[in-house]
Structure 1
Amino acid sequence: MSTTTPHTHEPEEHPESLPGGAGTAVRPPRLIHNEATTEIPVHLLFRDEPAPEARRPAVVNRRQGTGEQPRHVRPAPVRRRPEPRPDPELQERPARVLPGAAGVLAGLGGVAGCLATTWWAGVLPGEASGAGLGAAQWAAYAGTGALGLLGFGGLARGRTGRAWVLGLFGRYRGTVRRTGLLWINPLLRRRRADVRLRHWRSGAVPAADANGVALRVVVLVVWRVRDTARALLGIEEHETYLRECVESALARVPVELPGGVRSGADAAGDALTRLVAADVAPVGVEVFSVQPVRVEYAPEVAAAMQRRRIAALDAQQRATMLSSVVDSVEDTVTRLTTRGLVELDDYERKALVRDLTVAFCSARREPA
């Protein structure tokens, strides 16, 4: 792009020959010349401006003195990790059941109906005559027998901390959390679910500390099934999924060895609890606590880290002992001089400090 003089001028008119033989002057489009811009046709200055909403993308600054117009750059969309969404139909709801007394009465009614049909047919022992086993008798036997089977076959015992998940032809029909003797439709498929508060102690799970050192951690997880439909029907094995979520959380959260700052261990437990609870919530499992109960170095680094830890403890003990000895020597020399018991020059003071330091260190090293 070339720049021109800062003033504005009009180009000269040049006559051209037309087919009719007459020469006319054709005026080219007017141009604006500026030292900060290039040649821009005048009609391009009056284009429709876009709506204000269209100028929201980020703007790249133009280069100074080139006349380059600002370029709008649309930011790239941020891709979020897809979150598991449970099936809206798989949500726990109470199933329709009857008290167990209704099933007992139906079963007894079926048994009584069979006995009455037998007496009607005259096949009871000692019965001399009767109507015989005809079509009516067989129909009565079928009806009363079916009533007895439905009555006694649907009886179930509900226990505290246990639930029944019912289904019919692959479709969820409800959950039974009631206790005592109940009557449930015998045509429904029953699956037992444990809804009590449970705990699981894991094995040695790989983990790492804040410095990336390999560890083996044993955690204690306190959990329970909150939504039986999602836990039993929404996933293949909710207990296996819980264990995998614990391993995934340990891979993301640094764990500290015991003996350090207690608040660090509590923070690791809180972070593990939040992560695991968020991961297993879509499958109907509620997690209350995930706490490390044993933390140790991995076998491949255990020996080296143990030597390093012993050296650090030894250095810390030496520093503590030296600080104590220095304080004791300073206090002794200060008392002697302030009370006027001795008068020491610089040489004698240094000698006294050296002798007291050696004496105190020797006393501290001797076993009690």
Structure 2
Amino acid sequence: MSTTTSHTPSGAEGQSDGSGAGPGVRPARLIQNEATTEIPVHLLFRDDPDPVAMPLRPAVVARRQGTGEQPRLRRPAAVRRRPLPRADPELAERPARVLPGAAGLLAGACGLTGCAATTWWAGLLPAGALGLPAYAGAGLGPAQWAAYAGAGLLGAFGLGGLTRGLTGRAWVLGLFGRYRGTVRRTGLLWVNPLVPRRRVDVRLRHWRSETMPATDPDGLALRVVVLVVWRVRDTARALLGVDDHETYLRECVEAALARVPVEPAGGTRGGTTAAGDALTRLVAEETAPVGVEVFSVQPVRVEYAPEVAAAVHRRRIAALDARQRASMLGSVVDSVEDTVTRLTVRGLVELDDYERKVLVRDLTVAFCSGRGEPV
């Protein structure tokens, strides 16, 4: 009797899988490319601080290749209007230092008196002039010349600074390019003659513009004349904050007309009143930083441009004609309905459907002919 002995590799002894396969058979891998990574034990118990949060970049949404998916369209960012520049807080109107006109007159009188006294002192004054006794004097020496200079400067400084403050006018003072204050006082005043000054009109003013381009709510070209009521509220900002505040106001009105549609009088969207309110609000916001206060911007004459005036006129006539025809037709229909109803209710006639249609047609023709308008 023979015995067969099987040789088993030494490395495969005692190996067995959980599926009941015999020893020596290597189990098949469920995933062909599986791999095992060993992690050192000491790395599992490290006390690391919290990781630093890394900023994430926004994902780019695009079309996937081969899927037929269309790219998502991103909404364009809304264009925000830049806010109006804030006025310089240091450039604000403040009162200037002035003196009453009596101080200038007194200084001028003192200067003239000093010159006369110096002339008498030098012996150059004729006898009996100005009621002073004759005096031989010592002639014109250094002391006399110094007295002449002092008295002359005092008189010139006192009389040269005299000015007149008018109601509705103001003086803006500046020295070496720096704002020194505003004079709103009226009457005779004394202002430092070394300080340059500029006169500003602070009264309530109105400006009737020339013909400016505009558009109506439908986009048709217009020619508009506006009346602007305004005044200078802050003289420092009006003169020093902008090159020319009147030119700036004119350009702001023109820019507002390009943004606000103007409807001719008689329109259904508010007419010139609504457009005037919008123009007033917009121009007032833009001119406030430069010290100009706007009270009203109202269109006083609105007409279509010559290139579209004829077409608009024809369209208006057609609309009026259609409205008149619709009104006339409505009144005719009401009259026919009332006549047929009365005849039927009172029992004056008995009509079938055909006779009723004939009667309605005849009455409609009669009423339209009586009004002199074709159907």
Deviation at 1:346, TM superposition (A): 2.1
The separation in 1 between residues aligned to 2:366 and 2:209, in whole angstroms, is 53
2:150 to 124, 143, 154: 143
Distance 1:210 1:62, change over 3 A: closer
Deviation at 1:349, TM superposition (A): 2.1
Matching residue of 1:263: 270
Matching residue of 2:120: 119
In the TM superposition, 1:348-359 aligns within 5 A as 348-359=355-366
Distance 1:5 1:183, change over 3 A: farther
Letter in 1 for 2:152: G
SS in 1 for 2:270: helix
Matching residue of 2:85: 84
Letter in 2 for 1:93: R
Matching residue of 2:15: none
Deviation at 1:249, TM superposition (A): 0.7
Deviation at 1:350, TM superposition (A): 2.0
Matching residue of 2:101: 100
SS in 1 for 2:163: strand
Deviation at 1:50, TM superposition (A): 4.9
In the TM superposition, 1:65-214 aligns within 5 A as 81=82, 83-126=84-127, 127=134, 129-214=136-221
The separation in 2 between residues aligned to 1:190 and 1:154, in whole angstroms, is 11
Matching residue of 1:21: none
Deviation by residue 1:263-310 (Cα, 9 ceiling, x = unmatched): 343222121111111111111111111111111111111111111111
Matching residue of 1:238: 245
The separation in 1 between residues aligned to 2:184 and 2:348, in whole angstroms, is 88
Deviation at 1:77, TM superposition (A): 11
The separation in 2 between residues aligned to 1:350 and 1:76, in whole angstroms, is 64
Deviation at 1:250, TM superposition (A): 0.8
* Unmatched 5+ stretches in structure 1: 12-26, 31-41, 64-74
Deviation at 1:122, TM superposition (A): 1.4
Deviation at 1:238, TM superposition (A): 0.8
The answer to whether structure 1 residue 344 and structure 2 residue 351 are counterparts is yes
| C-alpha RMSD of matched pairs (Å) | 3.2
The separation in 2 between residues aligned to 1:167 and 1:89, in whole angstroms, is 14
The separation in 2 between residues aligned to 1:300 and 1:61, in whole angstroms, is 49
SS in 2 for 1:186: coil
The separation in 1 between residues aligned to 2:231 and 2:93, in whole angstroms, is 15
Letter in 1 for 2:337: E
Computing the radius of gyration from Cα coordinates, the structure with the larger value is 2
Deviation by residue 1:75-99 (Cα, 9 ceiling, x = unmatched): 9898762632333332111100011
The answer to whether the Cα contact below 8 Å between 2:206 and 2:227 also exists between their aligned partners in 1 is: yes
SS in 2 for 1:102: helix
Distance 1:336 1:209, change over 3 A: same
Letter in 2 for 1:357: T
- Percent identity between matched residues is 75
Distance 1:297 1:48, change over 3 A: same
The separation in 2 between residues aligned to 1:47 and 1:144, in whole angstroms, is 87
Deviation at 1:351, TM superposition (A): 2.4
Deviation by residue 1:340-366 (Cα, 9 ceiling, x = unmatched): 333322223222222222232233338
SS in 2 for 1:356: helix
The separation in 1 between residues aligned to 2:327 and 2:224, in whole angstroms, is 32
The separation in 2 between residues aligned to 1:253 and 1:77, in whole angstroms, is 20
Deviation at 1:105, TM superposition (A): 1.2
Matching residue of 1:277: 284
Letter in 2 for 1:97: V
Distance 1:283 1:158, change over 3 A: same
In the TM superposition, 1:14-33 aligns within 5 A as 28=38
Distance 1:294 1:307, change over 3 A: same
Deviation at 1:176, TM superposition (A): 0.5
The separation in 2 between residues aligned to 1:79 and 1:265, in whole angstroms, is 28
The answer to whether the Cα contact below 8 Å between 2:163 and 2:188 also exists between their aligned partners in 1 is: yes
The separation in 2 between residues aligned to 1:47 and 1:5, in whole angstroms, is 39
* Unmatched 5+ stretches in structure 2: 1-28, 64-75, 128-133
Matching residue of 2:66: none
Deviation by residue 1:88-117 (Cα, 9 ceiling, x = unmatched): 332111100011111111111111111111
Letter in 2 for 1:114: C
Matching residue of 2:18: none
Distance 1:120 1:283, change over 3 A: same
Letter in 2 for 1:147: L
Letter in 1 for 2:100: P
